Amino acid sequence: MVTGLGTPGVAATAVAAPMGITAPVSAAPADDEPVEGEPVEGEYEEDLPIPGEPPEVKFPDNEPDTPDGLECKPGWFFKITQNKKNTMSVKYRTFVENKKNYAVDFKFTSKKSGTTEAGASVTISADIGVKILGSIKAEVEANAKKSWTSEIGIEAYGRVKAKSTVNGDYGIGKENVYGYKYHLGSACQKSNKQYMTAWAPYREGWVIK
């Protein structure tokens, strides 16, 4: 099974080589087994850039102060004003170094798991967290979840050219947005506005580079 985060830098299938890995003229012997990736120990990145991410997108902030469109219902809401570039919370890191004079196949297998929670750059209450997640799911990424735990045993395949190294990161994609929470009064007035960056996990997979 091979999964990807949906970008050009991700191994999405077992037959397509990830971007940045090119096969040389000479090929590996047919009976060579794929080379297993070696684990990289230590702290992993919480916000690894995902290759091929589109530019950040700003949302117009001119919508009426009536989230339900019909009447003002007092309560807390969250307004997204900018969709920021997604990042990946790395849960496992591995590499293959090919010292041979020909290309070889490699296999990466996720061997550590981890959990990424939805959150924000400022302290928020549970009900605000629900509003933020709901806003992300409705406006940006329907697959976003409150919590996501990565799997163990997910494989990725590819080829590494002669005398070169390929690195693999397995983790959870984070949908990142910027906006503000606010309280809507019965007269449709906004108050207690506070800007913040917020995020929610939405997918897991490999980034190969």
Is 5 a domain residue? no
Task: Give the mean pLDDT of 24-42.
Answer: 71
Mean pLDDT of the residues in the chain: 84
Task: Give the mean pLDDT of 171-190.
Answer: 92
Is 58 a domain residue? yes
* Pairing, β 104-109 against β 35-36: parallel
Is 169 a domain residue? yes
Between CA 117 and CA 144 the distance in angstroms is 10
Task: Give the mean pLDDT of 96-105.
Answer: 95
Q: Which domain holds residue 48?
A: 35-208
**Could you tell me which residue, 68 or 150, shows the higher pLDDT?**
150
- 104 has a pLDDT exceeding 80: yes
pTM over 0.75: yes
Is 83 a domain residue? yes
Question: How many other C-beta atoms lie within 10 A of the C-beta of residue 114?
Answer: 16
Is 1 a domain residue? no
**What is the domain count for the chain?**
1
Average the pLDDT over each of 93-97, 139-143, 147-151, 182-186 and give the range with the smallest value: 182-186
Q: Which amino acid is at 135?
A: S
Q: What is the pLDDT of residues 46-84, one digit of tens each?
A: 999 998 888 899 988 765 555 555 567 888 999 999 999
Is 65 a domain residue? yes
Is 2 a domain residue? no
Q: What pLDDT is stored for residue 26 in this prediction?
A: 38
* Residues 4, 9, 12, 18, CA torsion sign: negative
Is 175 a domain residue? yes
Task: Give the mean pLDDT of 84-101.
Answer: 96
Using alpha carbons, select from 143, 171, 206 the residue that is nearest to residue 4. 206
